[in-house]
Chains A and B, each alone.
Chain A
């Protein structure tokens, strides 16, 4: 059983924001890097499926990302969690411009692995497009299900039964042909932490770097980034916690009286 997991290094903004000179992105100095939350769940799920599968340790979990050298950190984290191998697709200019372009960069290396299952996160926390996985499935010609909170699959069976979580928490129990691509939702599992030994061992594991295929035409381009208008934003309550609490109590009591 071979499972490929596509992961992303996400960028999170701290308490302050400044923009690049051309106004098209945030100044990288103001961003913190981490493994996308949804992808940690996808990696964990792949490891659990491998552990459950008939060939057990014989199965393989391969993690793939598109990014520059710094993105290797998220691959190392997945390797430390227990993934077997990693592939970094070198991000050429514009490679991360939009989710369709990212899916194109992922397609060749993922196809070459001939996986039984491909997992991605539902969305990335920094760009919230919820698109890369579904676009990738199309490029790979795979059946897919988006927003999955449970995967039941027995090795060698031609189908898997998955839970697709809809708005309001309603679950659509879906039968999907495998090989398939599933986009994984939080709540499906509790991702494991890697201990020090595992982190050390991860350094020994294979991390291949491959060139991307031509990116093709971008699906969109950012013209301008800006701080959101705070027109009717909140009235801020200042002061010590005691003063803030007193104001909150007053407002709440007045509203509910």
Chain B
């Protein structure tokens, strides 16, 4: 059986969690698992990927320490040519989005992203079937990738548990192609502005979404949160519109929270929102749409108008 190539994701000197989730998925898929680690000093990142399930770590030394899409693309293309894997697994992350689809387009690979389920089929396990969502998560699809050529698959973060346990993989070094020039160059990181709001330590979050249709209603929910002794949080559209400060954003590009209670009003449950709150102890969702995906992760749900419910809640705290 052909192998699986995992591309490690790293940021500022450490391997990101999604990498070890990819390793779990790769080991489940079957076949030898190779993890490619790119960096100015890839050996320093070894401990972050040398976990159970990995057969080989390929260390690729790059001129730049941080991610640049041209550099990753060149290296991964060279590894695909050299090893002819059945599948190449990347995270469905901002970095992955910057080069994964380019490789698939250039080499004519099978491709699917935001994948949360994987299986091998066919005689030699050459055909890969992925599970992913469509139409705002209201529908799931089984997607077949063509057999006979590698498949580049971008996996949804947090869909697989992170691989743990002692490793012991064989380590090899690779120099791939000419270093070449990078057409999009990392200059510096700019941190989100500091804030005295910390939604990550709150026990009770009242989180509002685009169901709150007007900026004028936001103060009402601020007051409701105070009354309920909850901390106000929100989905990205409210931060994008400037209705809430960015420190209150829950989700992939905001904060990951795990409160005792997460009460979501008028939030549909897009994958990037769920990434930030799905491991809350208790999730309660109010949404007027009975098919809203948020009900897939909530423990309690109510199909109702959020304003009607809010006005009643107000009286009870």
Contact = CB atoms under 8 A, between A and B. Distances in A.
B114 A128 contact: yes
A193 interface: no
A168 B290 CA distance: 30
Contacts of B303: 236
A248 B309 contact: yes
A5 to B, nearest CB: 18
B30 interface: no
Given A223-B144, A255-B282, A241 B113 contact: no
Interface stretch (A68-76, A87-95, A138-146, A204-212): A138-146
Contact of B317 (A13, A126, A249): A249
A167 B113 contact: no
Contacts of A103: 101, 105
B111 A164 contact: no
Interface in B123-147: 129-130, 132-146
A225 B139 contact: yes
Nearest to B134: A127
A93 B127 CA distance: 24
Name the interface size band of chain B.
35 or more
A98 interface: yes
Q: B-side binding surface: helix, strand, loop or mixed? A: mixed
Interface string A117-131: 000001001111111
Given A138-B106, A216-B108, A256 B260 contact: yes
Contacts of A130: 92, 97, 101, 113-114
B102 interface: yes
Given A12-B135, A172-B186, A245-B309, A165 B253 contact: yes
Contacts of A226: 139-142
Nearest to B113: A129
A227 to B, nearest CB: 7
B45 interface: no
**Interface range, A side:** 35 or more
Given A138-B102, A242-B312, A167 B299 contact: no
Contacts of A256: 203-204, 229, 260-261
A125 B142 CA distance: 18
Contact of A236 (B95, B143, B302, B316): B302
A99 interface: yes
A17 interface: yes
Interface stretch (B48-56, B172-180, B239-247): B239-247
A50 to B, nearest CB: 22
6 contacts: A26-B135, A138-B101, A139-B106, A175-B187, A238-B302, A248-B263
By Cβ-Cβ distance, the 8 closest A-B pairs, closest first, are A245-B312, A143-B183, A234-B301, A131-B101, A241-B308, A187-B240, A138-B102, A135-B105
Interface of B: 11, 66-67, 69-70, 92-95, 97-106, 108-114, 129-130, 132-146, 157, 183-192, 203-204, 228-229, 236-237, 239-241, 246, 249, 252-256, 260-261, 263, 271, 281-286, 289-291, 293, 295-296, 298-305, 308-309, 311-313, 315-317
